[in-house]
């Protein structure tokens, strides 16, 4: 059974326990396993608190036997997930509703750097 949940335009750390409690109340009344679809399309300026909020909501859903799917994430929010090392944690969930997960088109491909790229930055090496 699917539970729909939305995160507002801006959240503070003080909002996180209330949001988690509200989600827990919703999923407690539903049989597990299920799915929580979290709409984040209203998030105007994603920041670290947004990511923390979604991580805590995902943990809350998981504790109650529900899968957590993020829907409506902006490119800025997806980039922030990736920057914080959580790209697979949320991006896969973002694309799960759309079908099989695939790396974003601009995702880094594994493999050795080319002769013209710096191994650390991926930028062209300065001429010697």
As a whole number of angstroms, the distance between CA 38 and CA 22 comes to: 13
What is the DSSP code (8-state) at residue 124?
B
pLDDT tens track for 53-62:
999 999 999 9
Which long-range CB contacts under 8 A does 54-58 form with residues at least 24 apart?
A: 54/7, 54/90, 55/86, 55/89, 56/16, 56/19, 56/20, 57/5, 57/7, 57/19, 57/20, 57/23, 58/89, 58/90, 58/93
pLDDT tens track for 72-93:
999 999 899 889 988 777 644 5
Domain architecture of the chain: domains with CATH: 2-96 (3.30.750.24)
Q: Which residue has the tokens 């939305």?
A: 6
Q: Which residue has the higher pLDDT, 125 or 36?
A: 36
Output the pTM of the full model. Answer: 0.70
């Amino acid at each position: 059974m699917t539970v729909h949940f939305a995160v507002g335009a801006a959240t503070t750390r003080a909002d996180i326990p209330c949001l988690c409690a509200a989600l827990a109340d919703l999923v407690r009344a539903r049989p597990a396993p299920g799915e929580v679809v979290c709409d984040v399309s209203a998030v105007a300026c994603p920041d670290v608190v947004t990511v923390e909020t979604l991580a805590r909501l995902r943990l809350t859903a998981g504790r109650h036997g529900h899968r957590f799917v993020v829907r409506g994430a902006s490119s800025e929010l997806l980039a922030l997930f990736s920057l914080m090392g959580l790209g697979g944690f949320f991006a896969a969930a973002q694309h799960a509703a759309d079908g099989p997960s695939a790396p974003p088109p601009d995702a880094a491909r594994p493999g050795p750097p080319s002769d013209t790229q710096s191994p650390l930055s991926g930028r062209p090496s300065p001429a010697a």
